[in-house]
Amino acid sequence: MSILSETGGPVLVTGGKGQLATSLVNLGGPRIRCVGRPNFDFDRPETLKTTLDAIKPVAVVNAAAWTAVDLAESEPEAAARANTTGPELLARLCAERGIPFIHVSTDYVFAGDKGAPYLETDPVSPQTVYGSTKAEGEQRILAADPRSIILRTSWVYSAHGKNFVRTMLNAGAKNPALKVVGDQRGNPTCSDDLARAILSILATIEKTGWKDEYAGIYHACGTGETTWHGLAEAALQKASEYGQAKPTITAIRTEDWPTPAKRPADSRMDNSKLARVFGVQMPQWQESVNKVVHHIFTAPS
């Protein structure tokens, strides 16, 4: 049975075949109505109102975003349409209809120099175009819609779509040796776990009715921390149980893997507000990595 009751109006999910949108479709039951490009496109703002008028949702979850971190550095306008002005308009349209709006943001809004898990009250200081467009989006959404909830998550992976875990499994299948940065810390998050958290929030809102104290920013990432190197190790170790030869994985420094966008050195986030307000506990990242790798190797293709 789905976390979200099966009776009630449609819940609009944006994000097409993206990781989170796919998880919401798979786990959300019959009320989920997922839209993607070309029908719903932040580059064509008129498609937002058309979509809402057609579906008449009782709540909206925005899982659409520009997620190409390095490419955003050279395409800031397109990234801003998808991460800032598009979501702002969507929030405004939700406000006009009086429906809750759940949006997703990122750990990359932080500089990564706190030295401890970030709280929702910590100031943002994005170091990349992607992070800046997401941080600006947060502010504009909160201003546009008093019924908005923003979940900041991090290092999202799943059995489908483009993500670091799948990249490592593919790279490890082809190469006997990999090099992965070992000095960036964070919280890997399984998109199914994030989808369950969102569905649980929606279920709570439906049970209690909207409460103004629900509005605002929450951190929602996998429990426990690691580095990108640690995540690669965990995924490839699990893959070896299914017969894939495990490559040697050398931990390297950030400066040894140069990228156009500077990733935060330590973007760990604290989930306790999510647990306090909505009673949602995010699973341990290692358990979810194991489940996803198991799924990748055992699900019929």
Ligand X SMILES: Cc1cn([C@H]2C[C@H](O)[C@@H](COP(=O)(O)OP(=O)(O)O[C@H]3O[C@@H](C)C(=O)[C@@H](O)[C@H]3O)O2)c(=O)[nH]c1=O
Ligand Y SMILES: NC(=O)C1=CN([C@@H]2O[C@H](COP(=O)(O)OP(=O)(O)OC[C@H]3O[C@@H](n4cnc5c(N)ncnc54)[C@H](OP(=O)(O)O)[C@@H]3O)[C@@H](O)[C@H]2O)C=CC1
> Which residues have a catalytic role annotated?
130
Single out the residue of 84, 127, 128, 154 in contact with ligand Y (rule: CB under 6 A): 154
Distance between CA atoms of residues 14 and 236, nearest Å: 32
The site map against ligand X for 91-110 (x = CB under 6 A) is: ---------------xxx--
Single out the residue of 8, 17, 240, 257 in contact with ligand Y (rule: CB under 6 A): 17
Residues 25-84 that bind ligand X (CB under 6 A): 67, 69
Distance between CA atoms of residues 202 and 214, nearest Å: 11
Distance between CA atoms of residues 199 and 175, nearest Å: 39
Closest C-alpha to 60, from 83, 28, 26, 94: 94
Smallest distance, ligand Y to C-beta of residue 243, A: 28
Smallest distance, ligand X to C-beta of residue 254, A: 6
Please tell me whether residue 278 binds ligand Y under the rule CB under 6 A: no
Residues 52-111 that bind ligand Y (CB under 6 A): 63-67, 81-82, 104, 106
69 binds, among ligand X, ligand Y, none (CB under 5 to 8 A by kind): ligand X
DSSP 119: P
In contact, 21 and 36? CB cutoff 8 Å: yes
Please tell me whether residue 128 binds ligand Y under the rule CB under 6 A: no
Distance between CA atoms of residues 295 and 297, nearest Å: 5
Task: Compare residues 138 and 233 and give the one whose CB is closer to ligand Y.
Answer: 138
Please tell me whether residue 41 binds ligand Y under the rule CB under 6 A: yes
Stretch that binds ligand Y, among 151-159, 224-232, 256-264, 276-284 (CB under 6 A): 151-159
Distance between CA atoms of residues 25 and 212, nearest Å: 27
Single out the residue of 4, 11, 20, 32 in contact with ligand Y (rule: CB under 6 A): 20
Which helix (H) or strand (E) element contains residue 153?
Answer: strand 148-153
Structure tokens at 192: 């199914």
298: exposed, middle or buried (C-beta count within 10 Å: 0-12, 13-18, 19+)? Answer: exposed
Smallest distance, ligand Y to C-beta of residue 149, A: 13
Angle (CA) 152 286 151, round 5° = 10
Stretch that binds ligand X, among 23-31, 86-94, 177-185, 197-205 (CB under 6 A): 177-185
Distance between CA atoms of residues 237 and 178, nearest Å: 13
Binding site for ligand X (CB under 6 A): 67, 69, 106-108, 154-156, 164, 167, 171, 178-181, 184, 228, 257, 259, 263
Binding site for ligand Y (CB under 6 A): 15-20, 36-37, 40-43, 63-67, 81-82, 104, 106, 134, 153-156, 161
